[in-house]
């Protein structure tokens, strides 16, 4: 996947997509595989905002049962199965431990009822290509059993707990990239660091008809007019900002945004993702993650411009206090225990609820023709897990708009790029045997990150002497080269946080940072000033909030 701008000025597309997060990536893939010509533009890096700021779960949304959003839960559970099938290196079953307490807001009988309903709604969960990923039904465990499984649970008032299975996304950033790569392989044109500045309107039309966009390429420092029959706004928390570019007169209401933060700490749990209910009735997750612990997430309304968002120290402190109320038998978390913090904004459709935690994660497809703007469609809301089905529904709608018989969707059955793996564990075993110079756990990690593209990465490592490990997971220098040469990595932050996992556990150390920087600088021809700028930006991302 090479970055090129040659396609921009000599083509007219059926569909222009604004936004390269999971929604835009899925829409691009769906549209191009069903016969539409597609160009996608992302103002920063692919999957660099909301799509990266997740709890790394592909799940049905157990908490949505409390609002009886059965349709959303069922759709999510179906998509969980589909993603497990089409992206087997990224999506894996994981055991969850749902705790119940004597003074908790949710009675034990209600938790049990929710588990039964969850199992019923996921009746097809084991219709899998890879039978080794089968997920058992939930089961109830006693207080003592729960504490033996996860000793850090608070024992006082602990009742029976529930063990159930959902899925975890090993790398949401690379899963988003897999949709992008799949779209490109099918013929879509994509650009990162390409910002849509304005819309082009037909002058002769009696109504405002969008027929393209003005795109500013931040890398080439050029602006282009790009023509397209339809423009699909998949910019997530920026959706209203984009619509406002079309016309202030026809601007939509201001989008409601929710802030979600996560932080990484030392290892606190063993094998189970602990689902705890905070004292104010929200769920938080304590997730075993790469020999550390990932804790998330908040749901706090954000008021302001999305470009100005950043995680505040007060938000981290507030969340720490919430977590400490429901987790940690002997030792409570301190601010100094936080090793890395990341956050993002979620776009919400529902605006009648007082608390954004209660807002639905459903999505809407908004055709702005009703607002007097023809040719512009916006996707609002949604969640990572249901992005593929959202894209399928949107493309179905496009076929109705153009008056053509729909071409059948293949996205629910075709492997994503690099994920053509029938049995993941067998694949890992084969790659481990083929590469005895690498440790088994290292190959396992790299198989999850790269799938069938692993051979290309390891070939670089062996032929160019780039096999030195950069962290405890065994990530290697060859990944940096591969990201630049094959995955459109433009900046140091792209490499550290979205093409690899080198920066996603916190500061990797000055020596490792310098190695990655020097490789990138050589391949991308950075001078000392550019190197300094790239390093400063990354250090700012890695910094724990101070105010």
End-to-end CA distance of the chain: 40
Within a domain: 413? no
Same domain assignment for residues 155 and 284: yes
pLDDT at 282 (0 to 100): 81
Q: What is the DSSP string of 103-144?
A: T-SS-HHHHHHHHHHHHHHTTTTT--SSGGG--PPPEEE-HH
Within a domain: 186? yes
CATH number of the domain bearing residue 485:
1.10.8.870
CATH number of the domain bearing residue 331:
3.30.9.10
Within a domain: 55? no
Long-range contacts of 537-543 (CB under 8 A, 24+ apart): 537/491, 537/492, 537/493, 538/492, 538/493, 538/496, 538/503, 538/513, 541/493, 541/497, 541/503, 542/340, 542/503, 542/506, 542/507
Within a domain: 483? yes
* Structure token digits, residue 341: 């913090």
d(CA 231, CA 213): 8
d(CA 170, CA 186): 25
Same domain assignment for residues 245 and 263: no
Structural contact between residues 29 and 183, judged by C-beta atoms closer than 8 angstroms: yes
Structural contact between residues 450 and 89, judged by C-beta atoms closer than 8 angstroms: yes
DSSP 212: E
* Structure token digits, residue 384: 């990572």
- Helix orientation angle between 528-542 and 510-524, rounded to the nearest 10 degrees: 140
Q: Which residue in the block uniquely carries the two structure tokens 């829409």?
A: 27
CA 419 vs. chain centroid, Å, equals 17
Structural contact between residues 254 and 40, judged by C-beta atoms closer than 8 angstroms: no
DSSP E strand stretches across 192-267: 194-201, 208-217, 222-233, 256-265
Our CA angle for 104, 349, 111, nearest 5°, is 20
**On the CB side of 174, how many CA atoms lie within 13 Å of its CA?**
28
pLDDT at 48 (0 to 100): 96
Our CA angle for 53, 56, 60, nearest 5°, is 115
Same domain assignment for residues 158 and 119: yes
pLDDT digits (tens, 9 = 90+) for 168-182: 999 999 999 999 999
Same domain assignment for residues 430 and 499: yes
Within a domain: 408? no
* Count of residues making up the chain: 547
Within a domain: 198? yes
Beta strand pairing status for 194-201 and 363-367? unpaired
Q: What is the DSSP string of 379-406?
A: EEE--GGGHHHHHHHHHHHHHHHHT-PP
Same domain assignment for residues 164 and 218: no
DSSP 407: P
Number of domains in the chain: 3
pLDDT at 521 (0 to 100): 98
Within a domain: 72? no
Within a domain: 344? yes
Give percent helix, percent strand, percent coil of the chain, each to the nearest 5.
Answer: 40, 25, 40
pLDDT at 62 (0 to 100): 87
Provide the 10 A C-beta neighbour count for residue 510: 9
Domain boundary among the residues 372, 402, 432 is at: 402
CATH number of the domain bearing residue 382:
3.50.50.60
CA distances from 304 to 253, 257, 311, 319 (A): 14, 9, 13, 21
pLDDT at 283 (0 to 100): 83
CA distances from 535 to 48, 492, 530, 538, 540 (A): 17, 7, 9, 5, 9
Secondary structure element (H or E) that encloses residue 315, with its range: helix 313-326
Ramachandran region of residue 525, left (φ > 0), alpha (ψ -120 to 50) or beta?
left
Same domain assignment for residues 237 and 261: no
At a CB cut-off of 8 Å and minimum separation 6, what does 261 contact? Answer: 53, 296, 297, 298, 311, 315, 316, 319, 341, 342, 343
pLDDT digits (tens, 9 = 90+) for 251-285: 555 788 999 999 999 999 999 999 988 877 788 99
**3-state SS, residue 375:** coil
Q: What is the DSSP string of 418-432?
A: T---S-HHHHHHHHH
Q: Give the burial class of 422: count Cβ atoms within 10 A of its Cβ; 0-12 exposed, 13-18 middle, 19 or more buried.
A: exposed
Ramachandran region of residue 249, left (φ > 0), alpha (ψ -120 to 50) or beta?
alpha
Same domain assignment for residues 393 and 297: no
Which portions of the chain are predicted below pLDDT 70? 10, 204-206, 248-253, 350-361
Same domain assignment for residues 195 and 292: no
Same domain assignment for residues 249 and 263: no
Same domain assignment for residues 263 and 148: yes
Ramachandran region of residue 373, left (φ > 0), alpha (ψ -120 to 50) or beta?
beta
Q: pTM (2 decimals)?
A: 0.96
d(CA 320, CA 263): 9
> Among candidates 219, 236, 225, 220, which has minimal Cα distance to 198?
225
DSSP 366: E
d(CA 133, CA 88): 9
Same domain assignment for residues 163 and 260: yes
Same domain assignment for residues 442 and 529: yes
Q: Whole domain around residue 452: which residue ranges?
A: 424-542
């Amino acid at each position: 996947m090479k970055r090129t701008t040659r396609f921009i000025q000599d083509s007219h597309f059926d569909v222009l997509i604004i936004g390269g997060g999971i929604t835009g990536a899925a829409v691009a893939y769906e549209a191009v595989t069903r016969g539409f010509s597609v160009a996608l533009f992302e103002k920063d890096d692919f999957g660099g905002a909301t799509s990266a700021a997740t709890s790394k779960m592909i799940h049905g949304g157990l908490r949505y049962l409390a609002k009886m959003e059965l349709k959303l839960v069922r759709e999510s559970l179906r998509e969980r199965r589909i993603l497990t099938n089409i992206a087997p290196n990224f999506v894996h079953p994981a055991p969850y431990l749902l705790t119940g307490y004597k003074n908790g807001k949710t009675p034990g009988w209600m938790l049990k009822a929710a588990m039964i309903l969850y199992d019923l709604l996921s009746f097809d969960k084991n219709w899998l290509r890879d039978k080794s990923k089968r997920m058992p039904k939930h089961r109830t465990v006693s207080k003592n059993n729960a504490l033996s499984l996860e000793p850090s649970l608070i024992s006082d008032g602990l009742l029976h707990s529930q063990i159930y299975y959902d899925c975890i996304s090993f790398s949401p950033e690379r899963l988003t990239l897999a949709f992008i790569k799949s779209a490109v392989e099918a013929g879509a044109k994509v650009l990162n660091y390409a910002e849509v500045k304005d819309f082009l309107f037909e002058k002769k039309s009696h109504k405002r008809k969008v027929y393209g966009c003005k795109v500013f390429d931040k890398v080439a420092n050029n602006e282009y007019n790009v023509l397209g029959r339809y423009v699909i706004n998949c910019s997530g928390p920026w959706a209203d900002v984009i619509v406002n570019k079309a016309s202030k007169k026809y601007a939509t209401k201001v989008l409601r945004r929710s802030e979600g933060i996560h932080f990484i700490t030392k290892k606190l749990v063993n094998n189970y993702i602990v689902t705890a209910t905070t004292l104010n009735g929200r769920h938080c997750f304590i997730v075993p993650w790469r020999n550390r612990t990932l804790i998330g997430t908040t749901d706090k309304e954000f008021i302001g411009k999305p470009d100005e968002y950043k995680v505040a120290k007060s938000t981290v402190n507030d969340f720490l206090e919430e977590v400490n109320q429901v987790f940690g038998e002997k030792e409570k978390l301190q601010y100094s225990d936080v090793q890395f913090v990341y956050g993002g904004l979620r776009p919400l459709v529902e605006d009648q609820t007082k608390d954004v935690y209660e807002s639905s994660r459903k999505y809407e497809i908004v055709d702005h023709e009703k607002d007097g703007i023809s040719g512009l469609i916006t996707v609002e809301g949604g969640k990572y897990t249901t992005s593929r089905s959202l894209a399928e529904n949107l493309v179905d709608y496009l076929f109705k708009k153009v008056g053509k018989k729909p071409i059948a969707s293949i996205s629910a059955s075709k492997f994503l790029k690099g994920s053509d793996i029938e049995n993941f564990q067998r694949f890992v075993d084969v790659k481990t045997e083929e590469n005895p110079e690498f440790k088994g756990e290292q190959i396992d990690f790299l198989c999850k990150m790269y799938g069938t593209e692993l051979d290309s990465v390891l070939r670089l490592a062996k032929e160019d002497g780039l096999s030195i490990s950069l962290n405890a997971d065994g990530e290697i220098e060859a990944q940096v080269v591969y990201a630049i040469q094959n995955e459109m990595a433009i900046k140091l932050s792209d490499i550290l946080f979205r093409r690899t996992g080198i920066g996603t556990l916190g500061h990797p150390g000055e020596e490792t940072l310098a190695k990655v920087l020097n490789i990138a600088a050589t391949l991308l021809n950075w001078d000392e000033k550019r190197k300094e700028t790239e390093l400063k930006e990354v250090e700012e991302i890695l910094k724990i909030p101070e105010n």
